[in-house]
Amino acid sequence: MNDGQDLLLAIQGILQGNEAAFRVLYERTKNRVYNLALGYVRNREDAEEITQDVYLDVFLSSQTFKGDASVTTWLYRIAVNKSLDFLKHRKRRKRFAFFTSLFDTQTGELLHQPTDFFHPGIALENQENAARLFKAIEKLPDKQKTAYLLTKVEGLSNIETAEIMNASVGAIESLLQRATENLKKQLAGVYKSLSG
């Protein structure tokens, strides 16, 4: 039995109230969901919160899984939506408090440097460059950001990304091209070493 069939059986088990089935789904997919969320928010605690929200949503709405896509695709869709919702909500609330918390109230110095960012999929020696890249990704429009994170960070194919985003492969290629151009503008020399 392959992973896809196992996950499908897990969803069927969840629908019947089987907690063990939920645990199987969670254990097999949590790292992918967490890493995708981390690509959006660049903060472990926030990525963990999004991951919890994704699985709460899965548990509460497993009956919405229609089987027209793979379980993994369905999970990625939920994770993308939860991540984008989280970012929108975070921007709306406490924007001023967020920015002031970055600076020392006494000296006015920046407290949190972007080099603190760590993504498990990026080699240690590239962490500083990765922090710059993720900061630039954060500024991309949502669709470009999602296409870029799914293909370049998560390593999904354009076809898989198109399925997750409910778009054509051509649309994904176009989003990736625009995202790459935007990132090149933002990052200049740093980009070459990361996109290789």
Candidate CATH numbers 1.20.1510.10, 1.10.10.10, 2.40.50.140, 1.10.1500.10; the one for domain 115-196: 1.10.10.10
Q: Write out pLDDT tens, residues 41-98.
A: 988 999 999 999 999 999 888 888 888 888 999 999 999 999 999 988 877 654 444 4
pTM attached to this predicted model:
0.71
Topology, domain 1-112: Rna Polymerase Sigma Factor; Chain: A (1.10.1740)
In single-letter form, the type of residue at position 6 comes to D
In the predicted model, residues of the chain with pLDDT beneath 70 are 1-2, 92-129, 189-196
User: What pLDDT is recorded for position 189?
Assistant: 57
The residues spanned by each domain of the chain are 1-112, 115-196
Same fold, 1-112 and 115-196: no
User: In this structure, are residues 34 and 95 in contact, taking their beta carbons and an 8 Å threshold?
Assistant: no
Q: How far apart are CA 136 and CA 133, in angstroms?
A: 5
Q: How far apart are CA 10 and CA 59, in angstroms?
A: 11
